[in-house]
Amino acid sequence: MLKTFINAARLRTLPLSLSGIIVGSFLAYAKGFFNWQICIFALLTTTGFQVLSNFANDYGDGVKGTDNEDRVGPMRALQSGIVSPKQMLSAIKITGVITFIIALLLIYKSFGRHNLLYFFVFLLLGLASIVAAIKYTMGKKAYGYSGYGDIFVFLFFGWLSVLGSYFLYAKQLDWTLFLPATSIGLLSVGVLNLNNLRDKISDEKVNKNTLVVKIGEKFAKYYHYIILTFAFILALLYTLLHYNSPMQLIFGFAFIPIFIHLYTVYKNRDAKMLDPELKKLALSTFLFAILFGLGQVL
């Protein structure tokens, strides 16, 4: 049972979800605002949100019948029958409470009792993150079933993750920070789009109307090329605006496997064969976060 829940937590998705926090933390460090305690709490909070989202996704897709014999990829907890819907709901509630407590500690550590406005704004953002994690596939109006998943992933994995974490350190924002935040958001959307490309046929059968299902495989691939290319352009633009040394360009190495990945998607004729590309793109995004961050501080 424990092993099944660990598998349901999908720990392999953590590098992608942590990428935004890593970029925001490195940018704060480069500006002299870094705090280790805030960093640790931010990473733990994001980990909690991701595990919560994965549990909710397992539950939502499981009870709706989306996870069936047509699905590509590893078997989910509810799909396997080892975990019941009631047990998964309990795991969702426990994870949500623990994550909320850690988020409260993070917000208090950052703002204390002296910035009540910021405290309550981030408290609302934390609650919104929990709701977004749960409502992706759970409930009658799950936004992941209506083609809005890309928007939420962009906002929460990109802008909120990078800009929110930076603000926790610095208590201020620079408009240029939206450039790397958008890069992370677009790369994260790329992973979701790739997942939806892979699952297009099975999603259509169960009326899971992802953006890929709505616009079709051909245009979904064009969309894929555009968002990943723009992720590179925006990161490069930020670097040029704040250029100090050639080391800032080392993030380009992370885009070598990403551009190879784009060629693989272009040549692909069987979406089910895209499954191995998910891991490659997610890890490339994590590598980008590390290299981009190091480029800002070295």
Place of tokens 């603000």: 167
Question: Band of the pLDDT at 4, cuts 50, 70, 90?
Answer: confident
Average pLDDT, integer, range 108-129? 92
pLDDT above 90: percentage of residues in the chain: 69
54-99 confidence digits (pLDDT tens): 888 888 777 766 655 665 666 677 777 777 888 888 999 999 999 9
Confidence (pLDDT) at 70? 61
CA 33, CA 171: separation in Å to the nearest integer? Answer: 9
Q: Is residue 210 part of a domain?
A: yes
Q: Is residue 23 part of a domain?
A: yes
| Length reported for the chain | 298
Q: Kindly report the three-state secondary structure assignment for every residue of the chain.
A: CHHHHHHHHCHHHHHHHHHHHHHHHHHHHHCCCCCHHHHHHHHHHHHHHHHHHHHHHHHHHHHHCCCCCCCCCCCCHHHHCCCCHHHHHHHHHHHHHHHHHHHHHHHHHHHCCCCHHHHHHHHHHHHHHHHHHHHCCCCCCCHHHCCCHHHHHHHHHHHHHHHHHHHHHHCCCCHHHHHHHHHHHHHHHHHHHHHHHHCHHHHHHCCCCCHHHHHHHHHHHHHHHHHHHHHHHHHHHHHHHCCCCHHHHHHHHHHHHHHHHHHHHHHCCCHHHHHHHHHHHHHHHHHHHHHHHHHHHC
CA 192, CA 141: separation in Å to the nearest integer? Answer: 19
Average pLDDT, integer, range 142-169? 94
Confidence (pLDDT) at 279? 92
Q: Is residue 41 part of a domain?
A: yes
User: Residues 223, 217: contact at Cβ < 8 Å?
Assistant: no
Number of domains into which the chain is organized: 1
Among 6-10, 115-119, 291-295, where is mean pLDDT lowest?
6-10
Residue 234 has pLDDT above 80, yes or no: yes
Average pLDDT, integer, range 287-292? 98
Confidence (pLDDT) at 5? 77
Among 2-11, 86-95, 175-184, 234-243, where is mean pLDDT lowest?
2-11
Q: Is residue 1 part of a domain?
A: no
Q: Is residue 2 part of a domain?
A: no
Confidence (pLDDT) at 8? 81
Q: Is residue 108 part of a domain?
A: yes
Residue 140 has pLDDT above 80, yes or no: no
Average pLDDT, integer, range 159-176? 97
Q: Is residue 66 part of a domain?
A: yes
| Angle in degrees, 0-180, between the axes of helices 211-241 and 255-267, rounded to the nearest 10 | 150
Average pLDDT, integer, range 265-272? 89
Q: Is residue 8 part of a domain?
A: no
Residue 134 has pLDDT above 80, yes or no: yes
Residues spanned by the domain of 131: 14-297
Residue 40 has pLDDT above 80, yes or no: yes
Residue 141 has pLDDT above 70, yes or no: yes
